[in-house]
Amino acid sequence: MALGELRGPMREETLSWLNRMALGVPTQAATAAEAHDRLMLTKALDLSARLRQPVSLPLDPEDDRVG
pLDDT tens per residue across span 36-61:
999 999 999 999 999 999 999 888 87
pTM score, two decimals?
0.60
pLDDT of amino acid 27: 81
Is residue 61 domain-shared with residue 37, that is, in the same domain? yes
Residue 36 and residue 23 in one domain: no
Q: What is the secondary structure of 16-63 as a DSSP string? A: HHHHHHHH-----PPPHHHHHHHHHHHHHHHHHHHHTS---SSPPTT-
Same domain assignment for residues 23 and 8 = yes
* Higher local confidence (pLDDT), 66 or 1: 66
Say if residue 10 is in the same domain as residue 42: no
Same domain, 20 and 44: no
- Give the residue numbers spanning the domain of 16: 1-30
24 shares its domain with 5:
yes
Whether the predicted pLDDT of 67 surpasses 70: no
Task: Provide the number of structural domains found in the chain.
Answer: 2
